[in-house]
Amino acid sequence: MRFGTATSVDGVREQHFTLGEIPGVLWTPEAAVGTRPLILMGHGGGRHKKAPEILALAYPLVAAYGFAVVAVDVPGHGDRPTDENYDRIATENQARVAAGEELAPLMAAFQALVARRTVPEWQTVLDAVQRLDHVGTGPVGYWGVSLGCGLGVPFVAAESRVRAAVLGLGGALAAGEPAGRITVPVRFLLQWDDERVPRDQGLALFDALASAEKTLHANPGKHGEVPAHELGSTLQFFARHLG
Amino acid sequence: MRFGTATSVDGVREQHFTLGEIPGVLWTPEAAVGTRPLILMGHGGGRHKKAPEILALAYPLVAAYGFAVVAVDVPGHGDRPTDENYDRIATENQARVAAGEELAPLMAAFQALVARRTVPEWQTVLDAVQRLDHVGTGPVGYWGVSLGCGLGVPFVAAESRVRAAVLGLGGALAAGEPAGRITVPVRFLLQWDDERVPRDQGLALFDALASAEKTLHANPGKHGEVPAHELGSTLQFFARHLG
């Protein structure tokens, strides 16, 4: 794990790193000492480790709650090289949707393919970050919607260190099977008028989660229109389960 | 409006009253002066104005947020005389369910009948309580689930003073039509394994609400098993919209 220069803003220390070929960012409280809860955040499709929705959660989690937050680029995203195989599939999928095929099953197959790489990658990220003195082996949470849900569901299912997760904007086609192996508390975000994930698919993914404690939050609006008040609600969810 | 003796516990003043034939309770901060937000709470079927779920919200709304809260008994409930007409319908409905009829449409018709009395009753309660110096004409909220949703949806639809509402555990059969006339922010609670309200009916009622801002909170469990963490979430909802 090689670290770049750290910068600090409003008590939040931001440190870029690379772990093997994976570029990432770690946010911790300035002058943090000792073990603390850690949230791994998975970004959306076509976005990256410092997307606005990641920063909007990372900063208050660190500044107000003293958590550590880590995000890495998914293969083919952010500071990672383009992946010829993924690009080819994406181009083919665009053509198939243009020819009348449904988007959801194609997206589901693609996310399952990418998850085969990201699940082990994210596990090595947890290993490395939890070895740092100012993070340590505290409770771990996961946050990811859209692509971050398609990749996050198999990750949370596979990774026993994760004790609570915020997921959503994803469907059962992509993640229904691994969802049945998730038993930790889950907050699930669904957009009632999602133009990318059919409503029934989102409800079916929530239904498939094996967690005894899970809450669906559904709001009107399209895929990218999760209302701002869910931000505070997510902070409180993590504080309640990991704080 | 005739008041009984007031009692105070932990800074919350509780005052029983009767308004015509309607028995009610008003909770306000001890030694309150001036205008404040007011929440009208509608109790569930077979319950009353001081049911535990009413008290669990009324006390923190008053003590922590400085709101006023009022609840009255629905006809045939609590301190009100039994209603022969309602009792006859309830008995007939039990027989029809025992004979194989579906519960939901029967419950819906019954709630619509009761709402024709409770909507004007609750409007006179608002009139009277808002004339009190220590309540005044501040913003008004409504809370009611189950029967309190079936009666609450037509009330919120009819009453322009209500600016935010928590509803739930009800279905579109009972309240779909008036729901389409509700435009204020709504928090809607749904129990994923509700044995009394079919899931599709609950989702359809949420869908029918015309509010631009509405959030569905769905949790696993039966009709009576709303998890405790929704209590804090409801307090924050009212504080955000009326505080």
Strand partners, B19: B22
CB A67, CB A36: distance < 8 Å: yes
Contact A227 B215 (CB under 8 A): yes
For the cut 90, the answer to whether the pLDDT of residue B176 exceeds it is no
CB-CB neighbors (< 8 A) of B229 in chain A = 215, 240
Mean pLDDT of B207-214: 97
How high is the pLDDT of residue A73? 98
Is the ipTM, as predicted for this complex, more than 0.90?
no
Give the model's confidence band at A5: pLDDT under 50 very low, under 70 low, under 90 confident, else very high.
confident
Contact A218 B213 (CB under 8 A): no
How high is the pLDDT of residue B3? 95
Mean pLDDT of B198-206: 96
CB-neighbour burial class of residue B77 (10 A; exposed 0-12, middle 13-18, buried 19+): buried
Q: Compare all CA atoms of chain B with the CA of A227 and give the residue at the minimum distance.
A: B213
Whose structure tokens read 């007031």? B6
CB B173, CB B195: distance < 8 Å: no
How high is the pLDDT of residue A238? 98
Q: Which CATH number goes with the domain that contains B112?
A: 3.40.50.1820
* Residue B212 touches chain A, beta carbons under 8 Å: yes
Contact A218 B227 (CB under 8 A): no
CB proximity list for A11: less than 8 A, separation 6 or greater:
A29, A30, A62, A63
Residue A15's Cβ-side half-sphere holds a number of Cα atoms within 13 Å equal to 23
How high is the pLDDT of residue A200? 96
For the cut 90, the answer to whether the pLDDT of residue B104 exceeds it is no
CB B173, CB B105: distance < 8 Å: yes
Q: Shortest Cα distance from B213 to chain A (angstroms)?
A: 7
For the cut 90, the answer to whether the pLDDT of residue A57 exceeds it is yes
Q: A residues 85-144 near B, CB within 8 Å? A: none
What is the full DSSP assignment across A112-147?
HHHHHHHHHHHHHHHHHHHTSTTT-S--EEEEE-TH
Round the average pLDDT of chain A to a whole number and report it: 95
CB A192, CB A219: distance < 8 Å: yes
How high is the pLDDT of residue A230? 96
Contact B217 A213 (CB under 8 A): no
How high is the pLDDT of residue A14? 97
Contact B218 A218 (CB under 8 A): yes
- Point out the residue among B206, B215, B229 whose CB comes nearest to the CB of A240: B229
Mean pLDDT of A80-105: 92
Q: Shortest Cα distance from A215 to chain B (angstroms)?
A: 5
* Residue A207 touches chain B, beta carbons under 8 Å: yes
Contact B214 A212 (CB under 8 A): no
For the cut 90, the answer to whether the pLDDT of residue B99 exceeds it is yes
User: Could you give the CA distance from residue B148 to residue B27 in angstroms, rounded to a whole number?
Assistant: 19
For the cut 90, the answer to whether the pLDDT of residue B27 exceeds it is yes
Strand partners, A72: A24
pLDDT digits (tens, 9 = 90+) for A157-209: 999 999 999 999 999 887 878 999 999 999 999 999 999 899 999 999 999 99
Give the H/E segment covering residue A193. Answer: none
User: Could you give the CA distance from residue A202 to residue A188 in angstroms, rounded to a whole number?
Assistant: 9
How high is the pLDDT of residue A52? 94
Helix (H, G, I), strand (E, B) or coil at A197: coil
What is the full DSSP assignment across B26-88?
EEEETT--S---EEEEEPPTT--TT-HHHHHHHHHHHHTT--EEEEEPPTTSTTSPP-HHHHH
Where in the sequence is the domain holding B34, given as residue range(s)?
Answer: 2-242
- Point out the residue among A216, A233, A240 whose CB comes nearest to the CB of B218: A216
* Residue A218 touches chain B, beta carbons under 8 Å: yes
User: Could you give the CA distance from residue B243 to residue B138 in angstroms, rounded to a whole number?
Assistant: 10
**What is the CB neighbour count within 10 angstroms for residue B84?**
9
Give the total number of structural domains in chain B: 1
CB proximity list for B20: less than 8 A, separation 6 or greater:
B124
- Point out the residue among B192, B217, B229 whose CB comes nearest to the CB of A217: B217
Instruction: Calculate ∠ Cα B35-B37-B42, nearest 5°.
Output: 130
